[in-house]
Structure 1
Amino acid sequence: MRQVQAIWPDQKYENWRLYCFADQASAQAFLDHFAGVMFDPRRDRENGKARGVWRRSGEYKRILDLGPLSVPEILRT
Structure 2
Amino acid sequence: MIAIWEDGKQEEWRLHCFADRAAAMAFFEHFGGFMFDPKHDRENGRARGAWRRKGVYQRIFEIRPLSVPEILRN
Relative to the length of structure 1, the TM-score reads 0.74
Residue in 2 aligned with 1:62?
A: 59
Q: Is 1:35 matched with 2:48?
A: no
Question: CA RMSD of the aligned region, Å?
Answer: 1.7
For 2:45 and 2:15, the matched residues in 1 are separated by 15
Q: Structure 2: which amino acid aligns with 1:54?
A: W
Structure (1 or 2) with the greater helix fraction? 2
Deviation at 1:68, TM superposition (A): 2.5
Q: How many residues are treated as equivalent by the alignment?
A: 66
Q: What are structure 1's unaligned runs of at least 5 residues?
A: 70-77
Deviation at 1:66, TM superposition (A): 4.4
Deviates more, 1:48-57 or 1:25-34: 48-57
Q: Secondary structure at the match of 1:18?
A: coil
Moved >2 Å (runs of 4+): 66-69
For 1:62 and 1:24, the matched residues in 2 are separated by 27
Q: What are structure 2's unaligned runs of at least 5 residues?
A: 67-74
Percent of residue pairs bearing the same amino acid type: 62
Q: Structure 2: which amino acid aligns with 1:47?
A: N
